[in-house]
Structure 1
Amino acid sequence: MSLYKPRGTFARAIFEKVHNDQYLDEYDTRMWYKISTRLPDYFQSKFVFLECPDEITVNWLEKAKMLSANIWIQLWHTVARVFLGFFMTQTDINGFLKRGSMFILSEKQFSNLLQIGGFYPPNFAEYKTVDILDIGAGDGKITIRLANSIANMFNNSSNIRIYATETSWTMRNRLSERQFIVINQIKDVANIPLISCLNVLDRCIDPFKLLKDIYDVLAPNGRVLVALVLPYQHYCEFNTSHMPLQPLLNHWPSKARKLSFETEAILFFETLENFGFKLEAWTKAPYLCEGDLRQSFYWLTDLVAVLSKKIS
């Protein structure tokens, strides 16, 4: 008995979307947060197990499904991306179309991870304003969740001021619309209590300079929230070779996709600690992205860690 094969590009796209979304509905999302093998005791003791998507994460997924199901918007985005792709980067296109928003952790999950990692409101009682620097903030939606989690931790008793960096001009416009203070370089600020660098180290041209800049502007008792997609794959959008000056993890690209999540996690932690950071807490989570005409949402596997400065 032959399988049904729809005719026409549009019909095939819808057929493929139904098939892909059925797979998403049946996927066990608890796997997003699990590690498959035990790590050495030091790294294992820092692991924060989130267990399953919480209510806010589930709500985000449902909204992504609804947006993806709007066929006319998805058709418009598909046509616009083809045209705009001749003279804009993919990030600029997403910012221009206000599409492709990302999600990592909910407000509650951010708060839980940061508090376990030692980010305590009493440590910043003398601060009239609690500054957050988000490096590569994109459209700012993840930044807002992080800022809301900090406001809740402080019981809204402190003003939250958000600084952000972003290379995409359309995304910079989105950030300005949200009243973020968009700065040109990290060293434009200093003594920052909380710095987030979420999925940027594998997208910048010089990850080690970025780590040094983060270290230099971090407050002595501050924390860095860093995320990295594993398996590690480096891609620079804004240079012609798309290669970094030096990869963050030295096994790439020769052993790309050959090492386990846990093995690469240890390599990443060792790189950070050799650079002067101390691992305080970490977790595994999905790096979610709104979908398109092909399926409702996409995800990559994220390692999310809380770091402090090592005490000399």
Structure 2
Amino acid sequence: MEIRKAPYSFHNLKIPKIEKSWYQVDKTKLSPELEEKFIQLYPDKETQDFLSTSIDKSSWVWTQLWYIIAKSFLRHFWTTTDINGWLGRGSMFVLSSAQTRTLLSAARSGRGNPNSDRPTALVDIGAGDGEVSRRYADLFATKYATEISASMRKVLSNKGFTVLDVDDWWKSQKFDCVCMMNLVDRCAKPRTMLQQAKEALTSDGLLVLALVLPYKPYVEVTSDHKPEERLPISGTAFEEQASSFVSFMREQGWELASWSRVPYLCEGDFAQAYYWLDDSIYVFRPLD
């Protein structure tokens, strides 16, 4: 896939090449269930547009210098998340609208959708600046979000999300889709949040969850940056850890409906146009 490069730059900007391996798994290491439910995705135009924009932003030398200066000062008072929200930088990309449609369609295949004629509601838990879910939130009639960062909550409101309380979001209403995009390895109590998601879903609702592998939990708001509830994920290879996580989710009362592998992309900086991690993407149904 060709990525449009910035027309000029005052510095030697590193622009990584998209690799096919970012989207692939070794199916010989998967169980029959995981192999059957794996959906092969590819970088599409929305992915290309995000990367091209990231390249352009990284080429804005004076803007990048401002980011460096501002962050070096603000880090003494704010978290990295709050700083990025205030500066309007560090946006992420996981799934395009088309990729999300593909995963959700596969998850619903053969089951029908008795609620297809009524308005549907999505809630993105720990939504950040909303850029990840903004790309597919319009697949739903109404969109909600939660976020602990004050600066990010303001950004979410400006993007049309109804921001809910982080402690009570799951008590007030039912949702057709709960999104936890790269959250369970970044929150203190992932088991608790998964239980809340189950209680918040409609009877035919879906949980869309992204998890960076290998599993390396890091909690920004705890003193030791460790979670209070660690997930029992084992194995070394991507496929082994994905299988381990799916087994854990089944024990917690979730059935795998579809899954895939994509790069978790982040806007770059003065040195590199964008950064990435290996993301596993799952669609789960609550077991009866």
Q: TM-score, normalised by structure 2?
A: 0.91
Q: Which has the higher helix share?
A: 1
Q: Is 1:41 matched up with 2:32?
A: yes
For residue 179 of structure 1, what is the aligned residue in structure 2? 160
**What is the aligned residue count?**
275
Partner residue of 2:22 out of 22, 32, 45: 32
Report if the CA contact (8 A) 1:29-1:53 is conserved: no
State the one-letter code of the partner of 2:285: S
Report if the CA contact (8 A) 2:233-2:244 is conserved: no
For residue 205 of structure 1, what is the aligned residue in structure 2? 188
Q: Is 1:145 matched up with 2:126?
A: no
SS of alignment partner, residue 108 of structure 1:
helix
Name the CA distance, whole Å, in 2 between partners of 1:42 and 1:196.
23
Task: Please tell me the root mean square deviation across aligned C-alpha atoms, in Å.
Answer: 1.7
Report if the CA contact (8 A) 1:192-1:218 is conserved: yes
Query: Given the superposition, is the C-alpha separation of residues 121 and 62 from structure 1 closer, same or farther in structure 2, using an over 3 Å criterion?
Result: farther
Long gaps (5+) in structure 1: 1-13, 152-159, 252-257
For residue 4 of structure 2, what is the aligned residue in structure 1? none
Name the CA distance, whole Å, in 1 between partners of 2:67 and 2:153.
20
SS of alignment partner, residue 60 of structure 1:
helix
State the one-letter code of the partner of 2:247: E
Name the CA distance, whole Å, in 1 between partners of 2:32 and 2:48.
32
Partner residue of 1:286 out of 237, 251, 263: 263
Partner residue of 2:80 out of 90, 107, 113: 90
Report if the CA contact (8 A) 1:190-1:219 is conserved: no
Report if the CA contact (8 A) 1:172-1:182 is conserved: yes
Partner residue of 2:245 out of 268, 286, 293: 268
Q: TM-score, normalised by structure 1?
A: 0.84
Name the CA distance, whole Å, in 2 between partners of 1:250 and 1:49.
23
Name the CA distance, whole Å, in 2 between partners of 1:133 and 1:121.
22
Name the CA distance, whole Å, in 2 between partners of 1:281 and 1:301.
17
Q: Deviations over 1:187-220 (max 9, x none)?
A: 2433211111000000000111011100111111
Comparing 194-203 and 113-122, the one that deviates more: 113-122
Deviation of the 1:294 alpha carbon: 1.2
SS of alignment partner, residue 301 of structure 1:
strand
Q: Is 1:124 matched up with 2:115?
A: yes
SS of alignment partner, residue 114 of structure 2:
helix
Query: Given the superposition, is the C-alpha separation of residues 131 and 28 from structure 1 closer, same or farther in structure 2, using an over 3 Å criterion?
Result: closer
Report if the CA contact (8 A) 1:94-1:100 is conserved: yes
Identity of aligned residues (%): 35
For residue 60 of structure 2, what is the aligned residue in structure 1? 70
Name the CA distance, whole Å, in 2 between partners of 1:28 and 1:86.
35
Q: Is 1:161 matched up with 2:142?
A: yes
For residue 7 of structure 1, what is the aligned residue in structure 2? none
Deviation of the 1:28 alpha carbon: 4.3
Name the CA distance, whole Å, in 1 between partners of 2:161 and 2:112.
22
Deviation of the 1:181 alpha carbon: 1.2
State the one-letter code of the partner of 1:165: T
Deviation of the 1:130 alpha carbon: 1.1
Report if the CA contact (8 A) 2:233-2:245 is conserved: no
Report if the CA contact (8 A) 1:139-1:175 is conserved: yes
Partner residue of 1:193 out of 152, 173, 176: 176
Report if the CA contact (8 A) 2:182-2:210 is conserved: yes
Partner residue of 2:46 out of 32, 56, 66: 56
Q: Deviations over 1:114-160 (max 9, x none)?
A: 11011888432352x31111101111112211212x15xxxxxxxx1
Q: Deviations over 1:68-117 (max 9, x none)?
A: 01111000001100000000000000000000000011110010111101
For residue 3 of structure 1, what is the aligned residue in structure 2? none
Name the CA distance, whole Å, in 1 between partners of 2:19 and 2:88.
26
SS of alignment partner, residue 86 of structure 1:
coil
Name the CA distance, whole Å, in 2 between partners of 1:194 and 1:265.
21
